Structure 1
Amino acid sequence: MSAVMSEKWVEIGKLDEIPRLGSRVVRTATDEIAIFRAADDSVFALSNRCPHKQGPLSEGILHGHRVTCPLHNWVIELENGEAVAPDVGCARSYPVR
């Protein structure tokens, strides 16, 4: 599994190193990235800050392809980082493979 950072893929580990419905945090020089593994083994990467109050998304609860922020219960789509309505905002998403 790897994530792209500045157009360069960086290997960050193996799929089985992240528990299903869990996350792992990768720190870079410019961001802290939460890597999520859904129940269906899909993997997503978002900035580890909720767009609402900067809560640590990696500590949130995964359900389907969404994560609920642990601070104020905002729900964020893992595919694109968008907050689910009625909330508005976006966490930066990163491609993974």
Structure 2
Amino acid sequence: MNSVQTFYPVGQVDEFMSRIGRVLELKGIELAVFRTSDNQVYALENRNPHPKGGPIAEGIVSGHILYDPLYDWQIDLETGLVQAPDEGQVRTFDVKLEGGQVWIAV
């Protein structure tokens, strides 16, 4: 099985507001893309793991944690893991920055 990832350009890093999510669709997947205050960029599936679901793009970023306003959950942007005492995981996607360009692998 071929495990080589294909990265797609999605915009310049300065097009992504710091600590605010941006929704993109890439290869049929709705993504929530976040830029942290230290200019790291993370891409997660825009689907809340809470049983009631919903988007995560409207969450608020502090450090490398996404604070979900709907259910008061905290989600680690690097791993997608929901922080205790809650449980769940958001699908994450690899991101790379080259020359100010943001690339996401799907």
2:29 matched residue in structure 1: 31
**Bigger RCO (CA 8 Å, 6+ sep):** 2
Give runs of aligned pairs for residues 47-86 of structure 1, distance below 5 A: 47-52=45-50, 53-86=52-85
Give CA-to-partner distance per residue, 1:40-76, whole Å, 9 cap, x none.
1111010111101322111011111011112111110
Distance 2:47 2:28 in 1: 13
Query: TM-score, normalising length from structure 2?
Result: 0.81
Aligned to 1:13, the other structure's residue is in SS state: strand
- Structure number with bigger Rg: 2
1:41 aligns with 2:46: no
TM-score by length of 1: 0.87
More strand by share: 2
Gaps of 5+ in 1: 1-5
Deviations, residues 62-93 of structure 1 (Å, cap 9, x unaligned): 11101111211111000010000011100000
Q: Which runs of 5+ in 2 are unaligned?
A: 97-106
Alignment size in residue pairs: 92
Instruction: Could you list the structure 1 runs, at least 4 aligned residues long, displaced by more than 4 angstroms after superposition.
Output: none
Q: Separation in 1 of the partners of 2:38 and 2:82?
A: 21
What is the percentage of aligned positions where both structures have the same residue? 41
Secondary structure at 2:11's aligned position in 1? coil
